[in-house]
């Protein structure tokens, strides 16, 4: 595994970390980032981003290269992995399952859906499941109303004035950043890390499940100046986009905001600046991961705690002219997943895994019973042997059942409710530029994947369309 970060940071929790193969796992620390695409982490190969703490966690665990989300936006995805269901909230949630077996369950920040920035500014719970938590804590922040340099990249607006800033429920809010003078302690993710550290100290003598929800790099991209300074826009290369890229992608497969229908397309330099702001908030979030992991080590809890870091889904930052999420292409469906479990193997896995697998995996690791409503699979075979696998493909569900995708060895197949399809040879075309669904040479492959998708839809207890 190659780690490419150049930023000089101390990672105290990694120092002298020696795990016994006899370690008894009692605790679960689940770290969730928001709108983080897998390819924008150092441990996943990004040559520019600085994520030393997440990279160090990957070195102490198993990095899953082929992890996929089941929901394409925050709400459906988070409900999916917290209930281990392809869709919906049937059964017992992960936190409630721990509570039912006498284990403390704490939420800090965004786990189920919160409106970002709306619920962050208000400090409210969003769409939450109270029965999932013994205690729950929200992390307030000013978001786009933070005093500093406000940027609205798609309209080429840069100002320090506080009025007329795109914020909650307003259009264009997804192209906003704010950089400012400060140490970051006023931001929601810092507060989330601080509360988590407090809980670790309070709960260190008893088993716990603590779910930690960071809101970055979800828009608005707010962070202190020093994080933005790490990423000069002149050094950033935009994603490759080929001529006529959208011609073979069905209209239903387009994102609502594209470089062709939004002013962002007029400003390629601002697209680079937006990438820089996305990177800045990833590094800021990574620092909060480092604070938490340092405390876990300091308290002597590292040998008894499984640490998982995931994102709810990926993100589009100009690929195929697309922006944001709610899309079944690889940049959205592929997510980071790292599981660091004492006594287990370390390394990189090419196995196909799904976010709904987190629930049964951590439950089995701590010896907690798994309800029969759980649809995910335990990944312990892979944690014991990184060459193992638990399934042959990953399955993702479009919002409102408007489509489904199968990501298998060598292929991605997407079906939409209007009957249109996409087929990509992921060995020859990993960026998904050439839709082969209408190519007669791939008739047998298409037929096989159609059948596999129908089987997965049935097994997931869903209906097409």
Give residue-wise pLDDT tens across range 240-256. 999 999 999 999 999 99
pLDDT at 112: 98
What is the edge-to-edge ordering of all strands in the sheet holding 393-397?
Answer: 393-397, 403-408, 411-416, 421-425
Confidence category of residue 6, pLDDT binned at 50, 70, 90? very low
Write the pLDDT tens digit of every residue in 308-318. 999 999 999 99
C-alpha span between 197 and 299 (Å, rounded): 10
**Mean pLDDT across the stretch 177-186?**
98
pLDDT at 17: 34
Residue matched to tokens 């897998």: 38
C-alpha span between 377 and 442 (Å, rounded): 31
pLDDT at 56: 98
What is the SS3 assignment for 119?
A: helix
Which of these, 29, 99, 12, lies nearest to 304 by C-alpha position?
A: 29
C-alpha span between 329 and 432 (Å, rounded): 8
pLDDT at 68: 98
**Strand ranges, E, within 141-263:** 149-152, 157-159, 176-180, 208-213, 221-224
Residue 28 burial (10 A CB sphere; 0-12, 13-18, 19+): buried
Query: Do 210 and 199 contact (CB within 8 A), yes or no?
Result: yes
Q: Give percent of the chain with pLDDT exceeding 90.
A: 94
pLDDT at 400: 87
Q: Mean pLDDT for the chain?
A: 94
Which of these, 69, 101, 21, lies nearest to 332 by C-alpha position?
A: 69
Confidence category of residue 464, pLDDT binned at 50, 70, 90? confident
pLDDT at 5: 34
What is the SS3 assignment for 337?
A: strand
C-alpha span between 193 and 112 (Å, rounded): 17
Query: Do 6 and 282 contact (CB within 8 A), yes or no?
Result: no
Write the pLDDT tens digit of every residue in 357-398. 999 999 999 999 999 999 999 999 999 999 999 999 999 999
Fold of 23-140+188-382: Alkaline Phosphatase, subunit A (3.40.720)
Residue with the larger pLDDT of the pair 395 and 9: 395
Query: What DSSP string describes 229-267?
Result: TTS-GGGPPPPP--TTTTTTS-GGGS-SSBTTTSGGGG-
Write the pLDDT tens digit of every residue in 121-153. 999 999 999 999 999 999 999 999 999 999 999
Confidence category of residue 15, pLDDT binned at 50, 70, 90? very low
Confidence category of residue 18, pLDDT binned at 50, 70, 90? very low
pLDDT at 167: 96
Confidence category of residue 53, pLDDT binned at 50, 70, 90? very high
């Amino acid at each position: 595994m190659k780690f490419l970060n150049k930023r000089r940071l101390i990672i105290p929790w990694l120092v002298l970390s020696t795990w016994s193969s006899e370690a008894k796992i009692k605790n679960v620390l689940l770290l969730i980032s928001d709108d983080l695409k897998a390819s924008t982490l150092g441990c996943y190969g990004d040559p520019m981003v600085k994520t030393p703490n997440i990279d160090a966690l990957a070195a102490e665990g198993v990095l899953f290269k082929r992890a996929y989300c089941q929901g394409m936006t925050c709400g459906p995805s988070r409900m999916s992995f917290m209930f281990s269901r392809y869709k919906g909230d049937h059964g017992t949630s992960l936190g409630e399952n721990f509570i039912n077996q006498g284990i403390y369950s704490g939420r800090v920040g965004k786990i189920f859906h919160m409106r970002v920035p709306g619920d962050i500014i208000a400090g409210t719970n969003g769409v939450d499941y109270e029965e999932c938590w013994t205690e729950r804590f929200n992390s307030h922040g000013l978001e786009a109303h933070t005093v500093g340099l406000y940027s609205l990249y798609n309209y080429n607006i840069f100002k320090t004035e506080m009025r007329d800033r795109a914020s909650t429920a307003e259009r264009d809010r997804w192209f906003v950043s704010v950089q400012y003078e400060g140490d970051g302690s006023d931001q929601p993710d810092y507060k989330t890390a601080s509360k988590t550290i407090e809980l670790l100290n309070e709960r260190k003598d008893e088993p716990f499940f603590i779910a930690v929800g960071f809101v970055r790099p979800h828009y608005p991209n707010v962070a202190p100046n020093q994080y933005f300074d790490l990423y000069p826009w002149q050094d950033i290369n935009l994603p490759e986009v080929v001529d006529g890229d959208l011609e073979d992608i069905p209209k239903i497969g387009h994102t609502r905001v594209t470089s062709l229908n939004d002013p962002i397309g007029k400003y390629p330099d601002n697209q680079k600046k937006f990438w820089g702001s996305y990177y800045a908030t990833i590094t800021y979030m990574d620092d909060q991961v480092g604070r938490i992991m340092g405390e876990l080590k300091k308290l002597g809890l590292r040998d008894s705690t499984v640490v998982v870091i995931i994102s709810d889904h990926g993100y589009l930052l100009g690929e195929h002219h697309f922006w944001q999420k709610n899309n079944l292409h690889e940049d959205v469906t592929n997510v980071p997943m790292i599981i660091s479990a004492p006594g287990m193997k370390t390394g990189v896995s090419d196995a196909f895994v799904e976010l709904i697998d987190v629930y049964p995996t951590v439950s089995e690791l701590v010896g907690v019973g798994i309800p029969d409503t759980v649809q995910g699979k335990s990944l312990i075979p892979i944690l014991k042997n990184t060459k193992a696998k638990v399934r042959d493909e990953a399955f993702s569900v479009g919002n409102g059942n408007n489509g489904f995708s199968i990501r298998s060895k060598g292929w991605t197949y997407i079906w939409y409710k209007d009957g249109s399809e996409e087929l990509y040879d992921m060995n020859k075309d990993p960026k998904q530029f050439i839709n082969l669904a209408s190519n007669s040479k791939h008739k047998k492959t298409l037929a096989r994947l159609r059948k596999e998708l129908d089987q997965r839809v049935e097994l997931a207890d869903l209906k097409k369309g």
